Structure 1
Amino acid sequence: MNRVVAVLAVVSLLLAGCVSRQDVSGAQQAPETVPLSDLAGLTLQVGDQKGGTESLLRAAGALDGLPYQIAFSTFTSGPPQIEAATAGKIDFAITGNTPPIFGAASGAKVKVVAAYDGGGNGDQVLVHQDSPITSIADLRGKRIAVGKGSSAHGHILAQLENAGLTPDDVTLIFLQPADALSAFTQRQADAWAIWDPYTAQTAAQLPVRSIGQARDVTNGYWFGVASDQALADPKRNTALADLLVRFEKAARWAQEHPDQWATSYAQAVGLSPEVARVSQSRSLRLPTELDDQVVASEQKIADLFAESGQIASPAPDFNKWVDRRYNDALRPLLIATN
């Protein structure tokens, strides 16, 4: 029953929030910022996945002295975050590289406002240790569990293309992580395309092998995504600028204190210390420039989705879902380079 209610809630958000692509005109003029002292009564609604954003900010002390309030909401993956932002339920979230593309394809009322290099090492395609599958090419005719519109969805499409396969050559079973784990464990799926910390957690719990990872296959980026509604509001726009800088500082702290961060992350989200260490050692989101190269790499993924029939063709012009208003403020604290 709970699952049915959750599905209906997501569908209602999607129906309420989607517009046609023609309604999207790209980045809008940013409103004037306001003094931080004017934000005392503001609550910023922030989406989170597996506690990754909130736990990092708290561990680094980046929420100390916050001039506004933040209410964190937990989501299973990026696509529901995009839907919630479009519906005005959240102001901001950090997602993988594919949810913004699916959002653009449906005319989502959001903009990408920040970029993070996740490397792609933790975004993998898993099979059971005793499986006869040894390569992506062996997936022909097989069942692959994957979250629709997730970074893993983009990853598996790119892997299939590199192996000379198309989605028609396999059976994609669209499931959220918990249900995908169950299907994979019960051998109802032959492979599972998934991301950290689920990759590391599964490897610690089951005898599995990886037959592919996203590094050098897709761009490995994560993105800070804000709702158009929040970007148009002077107070929320100001708070978002402050939050993005705080996240950058927190990411730098985590990079400089990996053991302390892994311990804190494990405690915050209920992972074993070893799983947290493995996950964060290879999948820490490092702030990088939201530049033309990043946007072009996203357009390439969007084109792949359209060519493979996973979204409507032609692919959306991804640049229309990008707003670089915070670039100047974020540039001094960037960690990764494109």
Structure 2
Amino acid sequence: MKPVSRRLFAALAVTAALVTAACGSGDDNSKGVNADGSVDLSQVTLHIGDQKGLGLQALLEVSGQAKDLPYKLEYSTFTAGPPILEAINAGSVDLGGVGNAPPVFAAAAKSQIKIVGSYSSGLAGQAILVPKDSTLKDPKDLRGKKIAVTKGSSSHYHLLTVLAKNGLTFGDIEPQYLQPADALAALSTGRVDAWAVWDPYVAQAEKDGNRVLVTGEGFVRGDSFFVAGTKALANKASSAALRDLLTRLQRAHAWVKENPDAWAKQSAELTGVPYDVTLVAVKRALYQHHPLDQATIAEEQTVADAFSDAKLIPNKVNIADFIDTRFNDRFTS
């Protein structure tokens, strides 16, 4: 593995240990709420589940949206979306940003979560990668191959749809459920034949000479979601803080799209992801926020049905039961 890759994946593959004593802001439904029912946001601390390389902390700080917050933010860092939602269910995290598959797995586990916001993240940064000298030329060539993927991630769904549209099932491959750092090592040493993953890992892997076999184009819609805990949503003060934060995140994404070079330079200093890798990733991202409308909910139901039909989750889920549209007015369509 090249030195820059070691640095990148060491920076990205950080999972925060969940401290059982830690509490999300919704544990006390009266905290931040005055006797007259008004809200005191200065009494609110939102606990955010973050991902290195996709970091909400870096996004808010670099864009300037972290300035003059009327409430406090505390961050815990995870390798991918599924552990963020586990932390939200446990009550130690209030909000996190994830892809389209993690909410499905959380819903199947009857987790205490709600999808509260959505944005189109783009499809070019979602890919199945192979080594540059691989004999695999077409998705149909994946039959019988060992493929690394993070279980319950957006790439899990991408891989599932690529297989299905090419007449294959998960039974036709040997899935290797690995976190990104381990998956890169496996691809680099030939222990797997392909790797399904997302940006900025895709951008870094391409820089290292690996080849994209197929992107998300034509296979997935590419929505990402903000997910909150039901306890935080039940608290009037933390719900008000979440409303403000979602607005700031939309503004931050708009700033990033208008200032990709500045974002790449400044976020590289905060996240450890190289400037050139970040620039590639951001230039092919969309960051187009939109309401949780019927089309969005229907598409996420399609994701859920695909996993249940493939028996990759234990039961069917009704995604509408895990949607909260109270913040729709904060998202432009």
Is 1:172 aligned to 2:169, yes or no?
Answer: no
Q: TM-score, normalised by structure 2?
A: 0.88
Deviations 1:128-165 (A, max 9, x none): 11111011100000000000000000000000000000
Is 1:232 aligned to 2:215, yes or no?
Answer: no
Q: In structure 1, what is the equivalent of residue 142 of structure 2? A: 139
Structure 1: gaps spanning 5 or more residues: 1-5, 14-31
Structure 2: gaps spanning 5 or more residues: 1-13, 21-32
Contact conserved, 1:120 with 1:221, CA < 8 A, in 2?
no
For residue 307 of structure 2, what is the amino acid of its counterpart?
F
Q: In structure 2, what is the equivalent of residue 195 of structure 1? A: 198
For residue 212 of structure 1, what is the amino acid of its counterpart?
V
- Taking a change above 3 Å as real, the CA distance of residues 248 and 35 of structure 1, as seen in their structure-2 partners, is farther
Alpha-carbon distance between aligned partners in 2 of 1:111 and 1:43, rounded to the nearest angstrom: 19
1:101-112 equivalent positions in 2, closer than 5 A: 101-112=104-115
Deviations 1:234-289 (A, max 9, x none): 11101000100011111111111121112122222112211010011112532112
Q: In structure 1, what is the equivalent of residue 244 of structure 2? A: 242
Is 1:321 aligned to 2:322, yes or no?
Answer: yes
Contact conserved, 2:254 with 2:287, CA < 8 A, in 1?
no
Give the secondary-structure state (helix, strand or coil) at the position aligned to 1:283. Answer: coil
Range moving further from structure 2, 72-81 or 277-286: 277-286
Alpha-carbon distance between aligned partners in 1 of 2:294 and 2:124, rounded to the nearest angstrom: 23
Q: In structure 1, what is the equivalent of residue 216 of structure 2? A: 214
RMSD of Structure 2 on Structure 1 (CA)? 2.0
Alpha-carbon distance between aligned partners in 2 of 1:237 and 1:246, rounded to the nearest angstrom: 14
Contact conserved, 1:184 with 1:190, CA < 8 A, in 2?
yes
- Structure 1 runs (4+) deviating above 3 angstroms are 32-36
Q: In structure 1, what is the equivalent of residue 5 of structure 2? A: none
Contact conserved, 2:158 with 2:219, CA < 8 A, in 1?
yes
Q: In structure 2, what is the equivalent of residue 3 of structure 1? A: none
Alpha-carbon distance between aligned partners in 2 of 1:218 and 1:266, rounded to the nearest angstrom: 29
Is 1:281 aligned to 2:283, yes or no?
Answer: yes
- The structure whose residues are more often helix, as a share, is 1
Question: Would you say how many aligned residue pairs link Structure 1 and Structure 2?
Answer: 305
Contact conserved, 1:197 with 1:279, CA < 8 A, in 2?
yes
Identity across matched positions, percent: 40
